[in-house]
Chain A
Amino acid sequence: MATLPPSAWDREKAGVLLQRAGFGGTPQEVEGLAGMQPWQAADSLLGSPDLAQAEPPASIRKPSLNDKLRTERNRLKLLDPKTREEKQREIFRALRAEQEKRLTDLRGWWFERMANPATAAREKVVLFLHGHFATSEEKVKNPALLYQQNQMFREKALGSWSDLVLGVAKDPAMLIYLDGARSRPEQPNENFARELFELFTLGEGNYTEKDIQEAARAFTGWSVRLQPRPGEVMDEETHVPSFVDNSRWHDGKSKKVFGKTGNFDGADVVRLTLQQPAAARWITGKLWRFYTGSSPTEELHQELVEAWSENKGLLRPFLQAMWTHPAFYSPAVALQRVKSPVEWLVGLCRQLERPLPAPALASEITTQLGQKLFAPPNVKGWDGGITWINTASLQRRYEYASWLVGGTQGVRDLAGMDLGRMAVQSGLVEIPTPMVEGEIKDDTSFKKELAEKRKAAARQARELLAISPTPLTPLAPPEDRQEPDRLVSRLTTRLLPGESTPPELQARFRKAAGETAPLNDASVRQTVLAIVQSPVYQLG
């Protein structure tokens, strides 16, 4: 595969690499990458393998309310139907609140790893995998399982593709999300087999309906153990349901998949699938689109497929080959890639050298912009590209950018955001659980307690979630403030690395800087804002 000659490697390309392979960064980081050889730069971004190890946020490890509530079921039965229904609803809310809190912790934890220069590039692969093997908490309803899947992605992100696909096929969250856990020989569920072929590995037109039906039979028996049997401890630490290979639920008869016949199981199907010629084309095309925002030309796609085979389907060397290919930096692919909301948020904070917003607010921001982590819209994941942009989302990007640059002081109640929910997500309000441990509380006192807690929490949330203004010292040192032109040039280099700015936008930025030198803080902020509130900033 073609490789960028070291002589062609410069700051501009290093900036593009840092943005696309990771989440962007500071001019110093760009400088550092520019001083290396291209391959070395790609290698340094991916870092050492032990960076895949990650302790989960503490709340994920705690026993869930789920387990306590299991024991409450018998007590519920003693109540009259009307009260029982009401209590169940309250329990549901308490449980949901707990899940919200855990998911928010998980998102915040992941955002921090993305914003960490040492782990950013690996986390970008994990983000790709999350969209590719899309799995949503809205169906799985268990944050611990989503963490488990996310960590599996992290550990296998730079390893072999077949190992990863097999890991997904056995992943409890996926088994629940695509109904594999319920599939039985007498009525095999085709959902997972269909998406495995259509979305995960081959693409439409590269399999038959019959292949799906037969593959679905092969996957029967791969399921999830929901609850410990009497006297059995499932997983003391986390109470997480685990993968189980249940031979009683496996269809042991012969199957014919992709023309081969045998008494196949799920691992056989994964192997046969990845042997299909379409498999390498599918994943290489998808990775290229994710990292560059456009489809490879036919010629380039063939090169990518060759590189994939040469590297035996190992992700790390393939990514490095892709990132050092001249076409990765060609003008044809410049200005085609729209940053996803998560990239936009993490990247903006990194470039501004400011901390991320509190987890509840960070995840609300990306959610409002169309990307709610652990809740992709469907099994196809996020469509990406220009679908991130519409009149509503672009308006919101501009507004949130103003919060991050200028702070939220004076923004009344974080317009459009749900403070009450964010208070729960931040753990500021503990929803009392009506049943657990002790008396069944009567309704009046329960509701009163809840209302008071919520009020106090919303007040606290306003403080906790407030965003401070971005410190300007690193962005605009005194020497840069002497001349508006110089400041604009420094800021565009920082914020739009590797992008060529259309002249009318350049004029817009210059106008924001004003004519007074040295520039005061307000003018600096106005200039930063003009750059990040522009069409070109949404690309990268």
Chain B
Amino acid sequence: MKELGLKTRREFLRTGLLGGSLCWTVPGFLQNTMLSLHAAADGQLVSGVTGKDGNILVVLQLAGGNDGLNTVVPFGNDDYRRARPTLGLSEKQVLRLGPKEKVGLHPALAGLAKSYEAGDLAVVQGVGYPNPNRSHFRSTEIWATATDAERSSSTGWIGRYFDNACAGCDAAVGVTLGSQTPQAFAAKTPKGVLYEAGGRRRRLGADGEPESDGSMTMAMEADGEDGPAGGSIGDIAGSSGKIDALDFLERTEMDVQVTQKEIAAASGRGKNGVPYPGSWLGNQFALISRLIAGGLKTRIYYVSQGGYDTHTGQAGAHDRLLREMGDAVSAFLADLKAQGNLGRVTLMTFSEFGRRVKENASGGTDHGAAAPLFLAGGGVTAGLLGEMPSLAPRDLDDGDIKFNVDFRSVYATVLEKHLGVKSDPILGRAFPLLKAYG
């Protein structure tokens, strides 16, 4: 919901709200009954591979289908210029990734350009999968389950990582910043808790951003909505009915007891060493940084930024989204560096698809296919990975970019080289690894 102009942001942690009133709202005996019933049996209190100094993966989902071509821009490419007469970015506008490279970052990504120079950012080009699906929901599901486009799975790739590598971990081994457990977390034994820092999700093009024609009567520009984010855990778990609802509720009740205090304590211990932008996303990254600094034994953090479905009026909206994203991420990386934790952390972005090469008549772009993604962190070898796919019309697949790197190669690389586990039990088979780590 849009801010009203009343100064009413809740800057405190919403999910920690019970605090002192816990005795009344959650009867004290509950703790005894639930804990004794389940904890011992499940071994939930035993921490497994997640020592507090273990490596950490932060997944940033850019929901809605980020326009990869205007994120990592092939500014010199004639096909690009022809396909994007109004939205195309020129050599002068982009932030070049070195004198020889033919691509540059969107001008709103100044923070990430610095990280690239500092050697903490890799760009993986042309990421996608065979037979790309152009539905938000289905494509998000494909990325979440890491299956072939023609197959489905009742578990997500992060969930399978938990099932394989963290059987004895407590639920906080995965923390989602937000209000919905992502589909990638679906598992045989579901793990993961939700937590969210304060601040409102920004509604782009609304508050304080007068629309181009000054009309407030019917804001039909599509850049107002948050969605379609898609891809929550229930897409697979809920509909298949494989998870017993009562069992799930009982586990969740126990997780509330065990983990919320732990998380609140870690966030209290950790401190932010650098200023963060005041956006919702900035707040989430500031919180993740505090949780890492506070010693929470979390292996995977997951946060999602919505709004990338830029069918109409893309230029301004995309600029704001990327700025919010880039500023939040670069503050996060700087903070981790100051803490001395940057080497333990990899941040990976992804979006369910890129957008069509040719811009549409509404000043936007429609659903596409392959797109670049970012890997950032101290252990990451900076530079460009994978080839920039050809944009020549004859090389396109129905107007869309063909992939060069299967997204599961990116997952496999992160799983093997960063999280230190074998990837084929998680991804179903072996995928070629990228040279993303030294």
Contact = CB atoms under 8 A, between A and B. Distances in A.
A377 B234 contact: no
Contacts of B15: 391-392, 395
A389 B135 contact: no
Interface in A366-415: 367, 370, 372, 375, 377-380, 383-387, 389-396, 398-399, 402, 406, 411, 415
Contacts of B193: 390-391
Interface in B1-43: 1-2, 4-8, 10, 14-15, 17-18, 21, 24-27, 29-30, 33, 37
Contacts, number: 248
B174 to A, nearest CB: 11
Contacts of A511: 29
A100 interface: yes
SS of A interface (majority):
helix
A92 B216 contact: yes
Interface string A141-181: 11000000000000000000000000000000000100101
Contacts of A184: 361
Interface stretch (B205-213, B292-300, B371-379, B411-419): B205-213
Given A89-B208, A385-B239, A182 B362 contact: yes
Nearest to B251: A535
A435 B145 CA distance: 53
Contacts of A538: 249
Interface string B86-115: 000000000000000000000000000000
A416 B12 CA distance: 9
A412 B216 CA distance: 38
A73 B362 CA distance: 24
A443 interface: no
B196 A377 contact: no
B225 A383 contact: no
Given A337-B245, A424-B4, A394 B253 contact: yes
B21 to A, nearest CB: 7
A194 B137 CA distance: 12
A539 B311 contact: no
Interface string A213-227: 000000000000011
Interface in B198-245: 203, 206-208, 210, 214-220, 222, 224-230, 232-235, 237-241, 243-245
Most buried by A among B25, B207, B256: B25
A394 B229 contact: no
A119 B264 CA distance: 44
Interface stretch (A270-278, A288-296, A321-329, A468-476): A288-296
Contacts of B362: 179, 182, 187, 189
Contact of B312 (A182, A390, A539): A182
Nearest to A423: B6
B181 A390 contact: yes
A339 B398 CA distance: 43
A420 B6 contact: yes
A92 B245 contact: no
A391 B194 contact: yes
Nearest to A454: B6
A267 interface: no
A387 B233 contact: yes
Contacts of A34: none
A294 B241 contact: yes
B218 A535 contact: no
Interface residues of B, number: 83
Nearest to B238: A385
Interface residues of A, number: 97
A539 B194 contact: no
A256 B302 CA distance: 43
Contacts of B194: 390-393
B259 interface: yes
Contact of B26 (A89, A141, A533): A533
Interface stretch (A11-19, A307-315, A348-356, A502-510): A502-510
Interface in A401-445: 402, 406, 411, 415-416, 418-421, 424, 431
A188 B361 CA distance: 9
Most buried by B among A93, A385, A416: A385
Given A179-B222, A535-B253, A335 B245 contact: yes
Interface in A41-94: 66-67, 69-70, 73, 76, 85, 88-93
24 contacts: A138-B203, A176-B218, A191-B311, A226-B218, A295-B240, A335-B244, A367-B1, A378-B136, A380-B230, A387-B180, A387-B181, A389-B248, A390-B179, A392-B196, A394-B249, A394-B253, A394-B256, A411-B21, A504-B33, A507-B33, A508-B30, A529-B27, A535-B252, A539-B245
Instruction: List 3 tightest A-B contacts by C-beta distance, closest first.
Output: A385-B238, A378-B227, A387-B234
Given A138-B224, A378-B227, 5 more contacts: A95-B216, A370-B180, A385-B245, A396-B17, A421-B8
Interface of B: 1-2, 4-8, 10, 14-15, 17-18, 21, 24-27, 29-30, 33, 37, 134-138, 171, 179-181, 193-196, 203, 206-208, 210, 214-220, 222, 224-230, 232-235, 237-241, 243-246, 248-250, 252-253, 255-256, 259-260, 311-312, 360-362, 366, 398
Interface of A: 66-67, 69-70, 73, 76, 85, 88-93, 95-97, 100, 136, 138-139, 141-142, 176, 179, 181-182, 184, 186-187, 189-191, 194, 198-199, 204, 209, 226-227, 241, 289, 293-295, 335-338, 367, 370, 372, 375, 377-380, 383-387, 389-396, 398-399, 402, 406, 411, 415-416, 418-421, 424, 431, 454, 502, 504, 507-508, 511-512, 526, 529-530, 533, 535-536, 538-539
